[in-house]
């Protein structure tokens, strides 16, 4: 869904100065589209070179010209090679047009390799009369779309003044980011005022789910026995009812982490393309997965703590069995902890993770493979975790009581 955000990004109003270098991009894939958008926003003249320019014009911002590969290569001063390395050989015809120019190789490998030659070195061999620079490969198409995040952000109408402030910033060791004209200043002023904007909906959703399940459990376990049989179980309210509520909330939240990926995959199969924009609700849901996953994690951890707090039961044997089952049942919490703490860069909840899988391995990938990758959890542990969690929440109460009551 690299395409999903491209159209929604506002362009800043940089005037294209005549002295700005003309930048060429070969390829019209995810990376090329994100890069073109950002370059246009930064005031560059962008020429995109494609084998079939007409097909892809609509996917690029109006300011960028989509043309043939040879056109882009001969007119540009600096050329990004946003074509997967397998297909670099198909660019050999452009050797003459690219002579003496700077080529930026943005490619990534498919697996870690200890020995060369690298893609960039191979490219340099292929184009001995050009200057190859390796770069941008660590920036995903997604990050390019999201725009600059770090550094001091500058806007101003007088470019000389702006440059002097940016130079000052650079000398102080920060990376200045040009955000356009003074008319964009409101955007920068507002930036520090948003407090956890991405957390509002997941946290409210968690609270709503908690209230729903708590009321359900309260009515079923406390109110109903009280009304029908006059039994007083109100002492269960602060700990036991909360404790049966938490895993249900965690499970539903975990389902909400996986569901949008499946929806997206089916939608892409249905539409037959990955280049259509997702509906807004799905787009927002997809970007919320990380927060939903972490809320689920929090509920599980609370559940583990509450389980330890529960008062001991009648007999020592029952207690021991119960405790043992609890530990088995709570495997999913350990898996969670493993996922969240030990694999921070690739946690299953990372909303960018699935995108990255697709972005780093898109070579010749057909739709089926892509859909497979989209539906596959970024981390198999995630689905294992989900299954154990389901078993625990769904069957644990009566399986455990059955086993314990049968005298085992
Ligand atoms: N996507 C990402 O997040 C990142 C990507 N990269 C690197 O950028 C490069 C491009 O990635 P990405 O844009 O995702 O890949 P895509 O598969 O989405 O796009 C590749 C593009 O290459 C062009 N191309 C030219 N010749 C051929 C050919 N013979 N066969 C197939 N395609 C050809 C196609 O454009 P056309 O049909 O118009 O000619 C196609 O759109 C890769 O090297 C990748 O490693 C690096 C960092 C991040
Ligand atoms: Fe439990």
pLDDT tens string 222-263: 999 999 998 888 888 888 888 889 988 988 998 898 899 889
Average pLDDT over residues 65-70: 94
Which residue's C-alpha comes closest to atom 28 of ligand 1? 87
Confidence of residue 75 (pLDDT cuts 50, 70, 90): very high
CA 379 to each of CA 208, 217, 277, 349, 360: distance values in angstroms, whole numbers, following the listed order:
28, 33, 26, 9, 16
Identify the pLDDT of residue 304: 77
CA 346 – ligand 1 centroid, Å: 23
Atom of ligand 1 nearest to the CA of 355: 3
The neighbouring-strand residues paired with 26 are: 49, 81
Q: Is the pLDDT of residue 71 over 80?
A: yes
CA 133 – ligand 1 centroid, Å: 17
Instruction: Give the list of residues 6+ apart from residue 61 with CB closer than 8 angstroms, or none.
Output: 11, 36, 37, 40
CA 1 – ligand 1 centroid, Å: 15
Average pLDDT over residues 77-88: 91
Give ipTM to 2 decimals. 0.94
CA 137 – ligand 2 centroid, Å: 44
Identify the pLDDT of residue 213: 94
CA atoms within a 13 Å half-sphere pointing along the CA-CB vector of 249: 33
- Cβ < 6 A, ligand 1 pocket: 27-32, 50-52, 56, 82-85, 87, 90, 106-108, 137, 140-141, 359, 362
40 close to 30: Cβ distance less than 8 angstroms: no
Residue 277 CB neighbours (<10 A) = 15
Q: Is the pLDDT of residue 374 over 60?
A: no
CA 265 – ligand 1 centroid, Å: 21
Tokens, residue 232: 């007083």
Q: Which ligand is nearest to the CA of 310?
A: 2
Higher pLDDT, 325 or 405: 325
3 close to 275: Cβ distance less than 8 angstroms: yes
In sign, the C-alpha dihedral spanning 105, 110, 116, 122 is negative
Q: What is the pLDDT of residues 182-231, one digit of tens each?
A: 666 666 666 666 677 788 899 999 999 999 999 999 999 899 999 999 88
Best probe residue, ligand 1, of 4, 6, 32, 52 (max atoms within 8 Å of C-beta):
32
Q: Which ligand is nearest to the CA of 332?
A: 2
Which residue's C-alpha comes closest to atom 44 of ligand 1? 107
What domains can you pick out in the chain, each with its CATH number?
2-193 (3.40.50.720), 198-312 (no CATH), 314-401 (no CATH)
37 close to 11: Cβ distance less than 8 angstroms: yes
Per-chain mean pLDDT for the chain: 74
The strand ranges marked E within 213-346 are none
Residue 3 CB neighbours (<10 A) = 18
Identify the pLDDT of residue 197: 75
């Amino acid at each position: 869904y690299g395409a999903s955000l491209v159209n929604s990004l506002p362009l800043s109003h940089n005037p294209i100065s005549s002295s700005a270098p003309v930048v060429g991009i070969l390829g019209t894939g995810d990376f090329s589209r994100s890069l073109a958008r950002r370059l246009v926003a930064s005031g560059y003249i962008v020429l995109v070179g494609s084998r079939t320019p007409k097909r892809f014009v609509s996917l690029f911002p109006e300011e960028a010209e989509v043309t043939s590969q040879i056109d882009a290569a001969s007119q540009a001063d600096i050329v990004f090679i946003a074509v997967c390395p397998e297909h670099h050989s198909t660019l050999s015809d452009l050797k003459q047009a690219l002579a003496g120019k700077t080529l930026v190789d943005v490619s990534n490998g498919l697996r870690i390799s200890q020995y060369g030659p690298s893609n960039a070195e191979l490219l340099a061999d292929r184009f001995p009369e050009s200057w190859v620079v390796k770069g941008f490969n660590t920036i995903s198409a997604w990050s390019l779309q999201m725009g600059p995040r770090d550094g001091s952000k500058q806007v101003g109408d007088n470019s000389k003044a702006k440059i002097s402030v940016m130079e000052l910033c650079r000398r102080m060791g920060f990376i200045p980011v040009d955000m356009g004209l003074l008319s964009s200043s409101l955007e920068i002023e507002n930036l520090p005022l948003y407090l956890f904007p991405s957390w509002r909906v997941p946290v409210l959703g968690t609270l709503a789910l908690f209230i729903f399940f708590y009321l359900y459990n309260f009515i079923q376990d406390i109110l109903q026995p009280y009304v029908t049989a006059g039994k007083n179980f109100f002492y269960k309210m602060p700990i036991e009812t909360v404790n049966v509520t938490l895993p249900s909330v965690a499970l539903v939240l975990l389902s909400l982490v996986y569901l949008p990926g499946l929806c997206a995959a089916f939608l892409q199969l249905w539409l037959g393309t990955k280049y259509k924009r997702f509906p807004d609700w799905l787009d927002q849901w997809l970007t919320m997965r990380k927060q939903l996953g972490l809320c689920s994690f929090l509920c599980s951890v609370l559940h583990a703590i509450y389980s330890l707090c529960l008062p001991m039961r009648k007999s020592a044997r029952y207690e021991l069995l119960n405790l043992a089952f609890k530990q088995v049942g709570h495997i999913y919490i350990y898996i969670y902890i493993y996922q969240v703490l030990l694999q921070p860069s690739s946690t299953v909840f990372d909303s960018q993770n699935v995108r990255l899988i697709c972005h780093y391995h898109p070579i010749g990938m057909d739709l089926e493979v892509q859909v497979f990758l989209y539906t596959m959890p970024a981390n198999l542990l995630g689905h294992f975790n989900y299954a154990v969690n389901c078993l625990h929440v769904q069957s644990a109460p009566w399986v455990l009581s059955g086993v314990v009551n049968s005298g085992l």
